[in-house]
């Protein structure tokens, strides 16, 4: 797995991404992986209160995937405890579901991954105000975070809730659910670990349906799965889920277990 070399890195502790084109790991597996292209964000700035909270608490609660990140996260040291299961949530958005589920999983370490800083700031604010101590955050692309910040069989669960559907056919290569991503997730899950995906986009659901059995290390369990070893009830309706329901979208959920 070859990683390109970049020289520019953000100031430590600021939560800012490195300048330039996002890093893309060459996995060399022959499988399909999402291609990032240029990362651009919808408009969004932090309020003064969000900025103050972010500056105060991000150094403790957050990490940034830099162009030079090559060390795996020491989860026990980061959370200040050992022996607890760890779940990575890719694309946490504004963290509505993350913050709602975390208190119900107090014995579980939750790491939320998101590129959009205002979304992370909202989650950080909810964590601080709610006294939630089992959530940490990483700013970066989820696939690269998995590949570069976590070792093999280091996670008990991975969650991908309402990923960008990239509805136009020419953009399907950017969808995060691909054969390569499923393989990468499988390598990072411990035996018995769980992958949980949810979407309300019909075409994306059809896309996932074609991939449920593509990765031999993952056993597709369908939905629901009463014996799942981690929480699978998302508890709240997220902003994007609510928009979909208002349009009469059908929510599809998928569960896999690492063999």
Asked if residue 12 has pLDDT above 70, the reply is no
Determine, yes or no, domain membership for 41. Answer: no
Kindly report the CATH number assigned to the domain that includes residue 79.
3.40.50.150
- Name the active-site residue from 164, 203, 213, 233: 164
Residue 67 covered by a domain: yes
Rounded to the nearest integer, the mean pLDDT of the chain is 89
pLDDT digits (tens, 9 = 90+) for 56-110: 999 999 999 988 877 899 999 999 999 999 999 999 999 999 999 999 999 999 9
Provide the domain limits for residue 91: 48-258
Q: Is 164 a catalytic residue?
A: yes
Q: What is the pLDDT of residues 26-43, one digit of tens each?
A: 999 999 999 876 555 555
Residue 32, domain member (yes or no)? no
Task: Specify binding-site residues for S-adenosyl-L-methionine.
Answer: 89, 114, 141, 164
Count of domains for the chain:
1
Question: Which residues belong to the annotated binding site?
Answer: 89, 114, 141, 164, 168, 200, 238-241
Percent of the chain with pLDDT over 70: 86
Q: 3-class secondary structure for the chain?
A: CECCCCCCCCCCCCCCCCCCCCCCCECCCCCCCCCCCCCCCCCCCCCHHHHHHHHHHHHHHEEECCCCCCCCCCHHHHHCCCCCCEEEEECCCCCHHHHHHHHHHCCCEEEEEECCHHHHHHHHHHHHHHCCCCEEEEECCHHHHHHHHCCCCCEEEEEEECCCCCCCHHHHHHCCCCHHHHHHHHHHEEEEEEEEEEECCHHHHHHHHCCCCCCCCEEECCCCCCCCCCCCCCCCCCHHHHHHHHCCCCCEEEEEEEC
Residue 131 has φ and ψ, to the nearest 5°, of 60, 35
Q: Assess if residue 7 is contained within a domain.
A: no
CB–CB of 189/152 below 8 Å? no
132 domain residue, yes or no: yes
Whether 38 is in a domain gets the answer no
CA angle 134, 114, 126 (to 5 degrees): 45
Looking at the DSSP assignment, which residues form a beta bridge with residue 155? Answer: 189
pLDDT, mean of residues 210-228:
97
Check whether 128 has a pLDDT greater than 70: yes
Give the phi and the psi of residue 166 in degrees, each rounded to 5: 40, 70
Tell me the pTM: 0.90
* pLDDT, position 238: 57
Is position 200 within any domain?
yes
CA–CA distance from 68 to each of 3, 59, 99, 186 (Å)? 9, 18, 30, 24
List, as residue ranges, the binding site for substrate: 168, 200, 238-241
Q: Is residue 35 part of a domain?
A: no
Task: Determine the average pLDDT of the residues in 167-189.
Answer: 97
Model pLDDT, residue 9: 43
């Amino acid at each position: 797995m070859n990683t390109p070399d970049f020289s520019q890195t953000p100031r430590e502790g600021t939560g800012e991404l490195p300048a330039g084109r996002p890093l893309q790991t060459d996995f060399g597996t022959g499988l399909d992986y999402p291609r990032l292209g240029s990362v651009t964000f919808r408009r969004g700035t932090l309020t003064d209160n969000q900025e103050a909270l972010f500056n105060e608490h991000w150094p403790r609660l957050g990490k940034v995937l830099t162009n030079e990140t090559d060390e795996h996260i020491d989860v026990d040291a980061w959370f200040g405890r050992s022996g607890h299961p760890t779940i990575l949530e890719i694309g946490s958005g504004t963290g509505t579901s993350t913050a709602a589920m975390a208190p119900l999983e107090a014995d579980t370490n939750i790491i939320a991954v998101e590129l959009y800083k205002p979304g992370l700031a909202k989650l950080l604010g909810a964590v601080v105000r709610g006294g939630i101590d089992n959530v940490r955050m990483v700013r970066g692309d989820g696939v690269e975070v998995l590949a570069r910040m976590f070792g093999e069989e280091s996670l008990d669960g991975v969650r991908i809730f309402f990923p960008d559907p990239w509805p136009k056919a020419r953009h399907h290569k950017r969808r995060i659910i691909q054969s390569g991503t499923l393989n990468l997730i499988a390598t990072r899950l411990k035996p018995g670990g769980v992958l949980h995906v949810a979407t309300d986009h019909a075409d994306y659901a059809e896309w996932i349906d074609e991939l449920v059995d593509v990765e031999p290390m993952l056993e597709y369990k369908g939905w629901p799965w009463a014996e799942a070893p981690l929480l699978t009830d998302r508890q709240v309706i997220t902003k994007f889920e609510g928009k979909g329901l208002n349009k009469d979208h059908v929510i599809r959920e998928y569960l896999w277990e690492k063999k």
